[in-house]
Amino acid sequence: MNTDVKILLKKGLIFMLPVLAWITIVVIVDPFNYFNISQKISEKVKLESAQKLNSLLYNVVNFKNTPSPHIIIGDSRIRKLPADRIKELSGDDYYTLHANAAKLNEIIDLFWLADEYSELENVILGVNFNLYNEYAYSDRVTDAKELIKNPFIYIFNWDVLETVYLAVKNEFFGIKKKEKRDGKLFWEYTINTVASNHYSKWKKPETTLKRLKELSDYCKQQNINLTLLIVPHHKEFHDQLIKYDLSKAEINFKNEIKEIGKVIDYDFPNRITNCKDCFGDPLHTTDSVSKVIIEDLFSDTLSIGRAL
pLDDT at 147 over 70: yes
Residue 149 lies in a domain: no
Report if residue 157 sits inside a domain: no
Q: Higher model confidence: residue 129 or residue 14?
A: 129
Q: What are phi and psi of 227, to 5 degrees?
A: -125, 130
Residue 274 lies in a domain: yes
- Work out the pLDDT band at 10, boundaries 50, 70, 90: low
**pLDDT given for residue 175 in this prediction:** 78
pTM for this entry: 0.92
In a domain? residue 40: no
Q: In this model, does residue 1 exceed pLDDT 60?
A: no
Q: Is 43 exposed, middle or buried (0-12, 13-18, 19+ CB in 10 A)?
A: exposed
Structural domain contains residue 45: no
CATH number of the domain enclosing 243 = 3.40.50.1110
- Please report how the helices 206-221 and 104-117 are oriented relative to each other, as an axis angle in degrees rounded to 10: 30
Give the pLDDT confidence of 214-233 residue by residue, as tens digits.
Answer: 999 999 999 999 999 999 99
* pLDDT for residue 179 is more than 80: no
What is the distance in angstroms between the CA of the first residue and the CA of the last residue of the chain? 78
Q: 249-288: per-residue pLDDT in tens? A: 999 999 999 999 899 999 999 999 999 999 999 999 999 9
Alpha-carbon distance 155 to 62, whole Å?
17
Q: Is residue 30 part of a domain?
A: no
- Count of domains for the chain: 1
Tens-place pLDDT, residues 39-80: 788 888 888 888 888 999 999 999 999 999 999 999 999 998
Residues spanned by the domain of 200: 57-140+180-307
Mean pLDDT across the chain = 91
Tens-place pLDDT, residues 101-132: 999 999 999 999 999 999 999 999 999 999 99
DSSP category for residue 48: I
Residue 5 has pLDDT above 60, yes or no: no
In a domain, 47, yes or no: no
Please give the distance of CA 254 from its chain centroid, rounded to a whole number. Answer: 22
What phi and psi values does residue 98 have, to the nearest 5 degrees? -110, 155
